[in-house]
Amino acid sequence: MVPFCSHLAVHLKHPVHAVHQGPSVLDAWSARAAALVVGLAVLFCGRFTAKAGEASPLLRSWFAAQTNLQTWSADLTQTRSLKALAQPLTARGHVWFAAPNRFRWELTSPSSTIAVREPEQMLVIYPQLKRAERYSLRQEASGPWKDTLALLEAGFPRSQTELESQFRLLSETVNSSGLCELTLQPKAPAARRLMPQIKIAFATNDLRLRATELQFADGSTLRNDFSNDQLNPPLDDALFAPKLDSDVTIVDPLRPAQGEPLKK
């Protein structure tokens, strides 16, 4: 997977810019952010504050289109931009989603990283490093991380009402290419401090997701462009329950004690 470009957990504990901490931190940044994109904005996710009568006809159609969505998969091209880099970095991979909130985000080129959302945790796996990071999704999780991970529950919006609790709609625009772009702002202050804005782009002709973009507080961005998408493909449950080898080390980056070897 491409070294992702979002040091989300690094921001929570160490405000130093990830670029100064080496490629491995950049990889971690991308994996965590990519996983969040899938859960909180990926796949048309988003909750915004707008009165029932204010949604445009296009948005109402978009909401209606989500009611039949059960699974989704697509190829992706990820572009990360940081002020410290002269040129954006790109990566390619694939993403799978199953309602209401399971996903697998896998970058395959130039290096491998996998992010999987399980019922009570999110795993970010680095196969070449024999390492996995674990992020709790349980109720006891607290602080900015909890507020940010709460966005993972957004999933695909089934209705406008379902989306009103976590996002504000800042703008809705349609460009000459036939893409509608929504700019959203997280309502939770802690989440907003990490990610001031989220953008979601979908096609006006078929209402399919085409791109997502996260804007981070340091000015860096992570954009994902989707292609060759499939609506409601059959997905193997094993995709969302990865089996880790016995020599893989699991760490909890947000806890003081790290380095817990995987036990069979």
Give the start-to-end residue ranges of the domains of the chain: 8-261
pLDDT at 46: 35
pLDDT at 228: 96
pLDDT at 69: 83
In the chain, which residues have pLDDT < 70? 1-54, 139-165, 256-264
pLDDT at 2: 29
Q: Is-contact 172 196, C-beta < 8 A?
A: no
pLDDT at 43: 38
The DSSP code sequence of the chain is: ----S--HHHHHH--S-GGGG-HHHHHHHHHHHHHHIIIIITTT-------GGGS-HHHHHHHHHGGG--EEEEEEEEEEE-TT-SS-EEEEEEEEEETTTEEEEEEEESS-EEEEE-SSEEEEEEGGGTEEEEEE-STT--SHHHHHHGGGGG-S-SSTGGGTTTEEEEEEEE-TTSEEEEEEEESSHHHHHH-SEEEEEEETTT--EEEEEEE-TTS-EEEEEEEEEEES----GGGGSPPPPTTPEEE-TTSSS--EE---
> So what CATH class is 8-261?
mainly beta
pLDDT at 169: 84
pLDDT at 226: 94
- How distant, in Å, are the alpha carbons of 33, 105, 185, 193 from that of 8? 7, 16, 17, 11
pLDDT at 238: 94
List, as own/partner pairs, every contact residues 242-250 make where C-beta atoms lie below 8 angstroms and the sequence separation is at least 24, other chains included. 242/114, 242/116, 242/123, 242/125, 244/125, 244/132, 245/130, 247/130, 248/125, 248/130, 248/131, 248/132, 249/130, 249/131, 249/132, 250/131, 250/132, 250/133, 250/134
Q: How many CB atoms lie within 10 A of CB 98?
A: 21
pLDDT at 94: 95
pLDDT at 23: 38
pTM, full prediction? 0.76
pLDDT for 207-264, tens place per residue? Answer: 988 998 888 888 999 899 999 999 999 999 999 999 999 999 999 887 755 444 444 4
pLDDT at 76: 92
